[in-house]
Amino acid sequence: MSFNISGKITLLRRLFQSLTLIVFILIYYTSHKQSFILGTFYSLKIGPIHIVDPYVYITYIIRNFANIDFYIWSFIGFMIPLFVGVLMGRVFCSWICPYNFFYECIVSFIEKIKKQRKFLFFSTSDKTRIVYLLVIIIIGTIFPVLTYLLILPGLFSLLMHQIILYFFTIVIFGVLWILFIFTFDYFWKKRIWCKCLCPTGVILSLIRFKRGLRIIKMENGLCKGCALCSFECPLGLTPHKGDHYAECYNCGKCVDICKSLRKGNQPLKFKFL
Amino acid sequence: MFFSFTYLRPPGAVKEAEFIKKCIRCGKCQQICPYNSIKLISWQNPFYFGLPYIEPRKKPCYLCMKCPPLCPSGALDRNLKDKYKVRMGIAIINKNTCWAYQGSFCRACFMNCPIFDKALKLTDELLPIVIEKYCVGCGVCEYVCPVEPSAIIIKTY
């Protein structure tokens, strides 16, 4: 099943990303009156279900293996991101994650001022990511504070509440930490955070299902090799060569540009199953 | 752990060593708190970043019992609904500065205690004493104490 959402995918995605920010500010302002939706991206409570970040929950389980407190709603909430990850790939990263939104906004701003793009992206294989994930799970189990610092979507959503109440306490630290990560993410190895270091992103990229939601390149000679898709890709992948599956996070920018150029018979498409 | 500071945790918290292991720092208890009593640790201790705590001298816990059922990880006891069973700490009276013991008439802590006439009692209708069996450690007494610094403080377990 392949489908065409014509050239407005990026617009739709920006809408989703802004909506996430608005929802998190609304959660704060209504949190004294309702307890239906509460929390941050570390753990989001919707109704009775506590959706938990996979990396946080895995380290939590290992750390408390001796006297575990098994709460069924937390466990179901732990399965939801994994289920979405298997079916839809890394849609969380591109459509929801506030750090990615922040990164794309800042980078587009920088590029507008400088009028040039950097193309030296960081890239790794699946094997490196598995080794990295095991190491980071062990370290995160020993030092619980790491799970707090490494989940940037969680930290971002937390800051959205804190910035209103306690500006000079946790906010300054959090903002400095995010800017530090952004600095080496942009100036040293471009996109190293989202592609290799973010625990949530690594888990979501490792559990992807071969037939879940993905962007495919038709192998029927439609592609003329203009490589505009690779020029647009925010992760620096090369969809025109058809080797982007391992790291792609389904943002749909390449589909958009392909659609606008080829008007209906484009080689790049979203595909599900 | 590396630095042993003792913080007053939200009601229903398990033992301190277990609490550090179990809390996943999602901040839901801080969000639901109607009085903004619960805060998150930031600069004070880099190893405890994001853990919730209460500063009773600035804003005590009023025992509304909204936060324990929200905890996804069991760091706060989910089944705790009775405010009389909370054990956050124990109030300790500094008899050298307490106005009642100095001869003045002051009943601030006794009148404001949410476990009224059980946790704090007056001997001779004048001198407050803490009954450890009933004291929950909410910190209201520390908050209302007119002495600066507070003559009655909460000691955590």
Residue A239 to residues A59, A195, B98, Cα–Cα distance (Å)? 35, 16, 74
Query: Distance from A250 to chain B by nearest Cα, in Å?
Result: 27
Domain boundary among B23, B48, B82: B82
Do B70 and B93 fall into the same domain?
A: no
Whether A238 is covered by a domain: the verdict is: no
| Average pLDDT score, chain A | 84
- Average pLDDT of the residues in B134-140: 91
Give residue for tokens 């732990």.
A78
pLDDT at position B144 is 93
pLDDT at position B134 is 92
Whether A124 is covered by a domain: the verdict is: yes
Task: Quote the ipTM score.
Answer: 0.84
For an interface test with B, the pick among A23, A33, A40 (most B C-beta atoms closer than 10 Å) comes out as A40
Q: Which two tokens stand for residue A68?
A: 């575990």
Q: Sheet containing A49-52: which strands, arranged edge to edge?
A: A37-39, A43-46, A49-52
pLDDT at position A167 is 63
Binding-site residues on chain A for chain B (CB distance < 8 A):
27-28, 31-32, 35, 38-40, 42-43, 45, 50, 52, 56-57, 60, 63-64, 67, 69, 71, 73-74, 77, 143-145, 147-149, 154, 158, 161-162, 165-166, 169-170, 173
pLDDT at position A4 is 53
Lowest mean pLDDT among A184-193, A260-269, B115-124: A260-269
pLDDT at position A251 is 85
- Average pLDDT of the residues in B17-43: 87
Q: What distance in Å separates the CA atoms of residue A47 and residue B96, rounded to the nearest whole number? A: 51
Q: Does the pLDDT at position A172 exceed 80?
A: no
Domain boundary among B61, B82, B103: B82
Query: How many domains does the structure of chain B reveal?
Result: 2
For B27, nearest residue in chain A (alpha carbons) = A39
- B146 in contact with A at a CB cutoff of 8 Å? no
Query: Distance from A55 to chain B by nearest Cα, in Å?
Result: 11
Residue A166 to residues A149, A169, A171, B17, B82, Cα–Cα distance (Å)? 19, 6, 7, 27, 30
For an interface test with A, the pick among B49, B55, B59, B67 (most A C-beta atoms closer than 10 Å) comes out as B49
Whether A260 is covered by a domain: the verdict is: no
Whether A198 is covered by a domain: the verdict is: yes
pLDDT at position A189 is 80
Is residue A269 within a helix (H) or strand (E), and if so which, with residue range? Answer: strand A268-271
Tens of pLDDT, residue by residue over A200-255, are 888 888 888 888 888 888 877 778 878 888 888 888 888 888 788 888 888 888 88
Whether A98 is covered by a domain: the verdict is: yes
Do B16 and B59 fall into the same domain?
A: yes
Could you tell me whether strands B38-40 and B52-54 are parallel, antiparallel, or unpaired per DSSP bridges?
antiparallel
Query: Distance from B51 to chain A by nearest Cα, in Å?
Result: 9
Query: How many domains does the structure of chain A reveal?
Result: 1
B92: containing domain? 87-156
Burial of A132 by CB count in 10 Å (0-12 exposed, 13-18 middle, 19+ buried)?
A: middle
Do B36 and B58 fall into the same domain?
A: yes
By C-alpha distance, which of A109, A112, A110, A85 is closest to A96? A85
| Average pLDDT score, chain B | 88
* pLDDT class of B94 with cuts at 50, 70, 90: very high
Do B92 and B121 fall into the same domain?
A: yes
Q: Does the pLDDT at position A12 exceed 80?
A: yes
Tens of pLDDT, residue by residue over A132-151, are 999 999 999 998 888 888 88
* pLDDT class of A6 with cuts at 50, 70, 90: low
Q: Does the pLDDT at position A61 exceed 70?
A: yes
SS3 content of chain A, % helix, strand, coil (to 5): 60, 10, 30
Do B72 and B103 fall into the same domain?
A: no
Domain boundary among B63, B82, B101: B82
- B83 in contact with A at a CB cutoff of 8 Å? no
Do B53 and B96 fall into the same domain?
A: no
Secondary structure (3-state) at A66: coil
* pLDDT class of B48 with cuts at 50, 70, 90: confident
Whether A225 is covered by a domain: the verdict is: no
Do B145 and B124 fall into the same domain?
A: yes
Do B13 and B68 fall into the same domain?
A: yes
Do B70 and B92 fall into the same domain?
A: no
Q: Which two tokens stand for residue A101?
A: 């939104």
Tens of pLDDT, residue by residue over A86-100, are 888 888 888 998 889
* pLDDT class of B1 with cuts at 50, 70, 90: very low
- The dihedrals phi and psi of B76, each to the nearest 5 degrees, come to -105, 140
A126: containing domain? 18-211
Do B54 and B106 fall into the same domain?
A: no
pLDDT at position A241 is 82
Do B148 and B99 fall into the same domain?
A: yes
Q: What distance in Å separates the CA atoms of residue B7 and residue B89, rounded to the nearest whole number? A: 10
Q: Does the pLDDT at position A81 exceed 50?
A: yes
- CB < 8 Å to A40, chain B: 26-28
- B17 in contact with A at a CB cutoff of 8 Å? no
pLDDT at position B143 is 93
Do B116 and B65 fall into the same domain?
A: no
CATH code of the domain containing B43: 3.30.70.20
- Average pLDDT of the residues in B125-147: 91
Q: Note whether A38 contacts B20, CB cutoff 8 Å.
A: no
* pLDDT higher at A161 or B134: B134
Q: What distance in Å separates the CA atoms of residue B141 and residue A145, rounded to the nearest whole number? A: 32
By C-alpha distance, which of B61, B62, B80 is closest to B156? B61
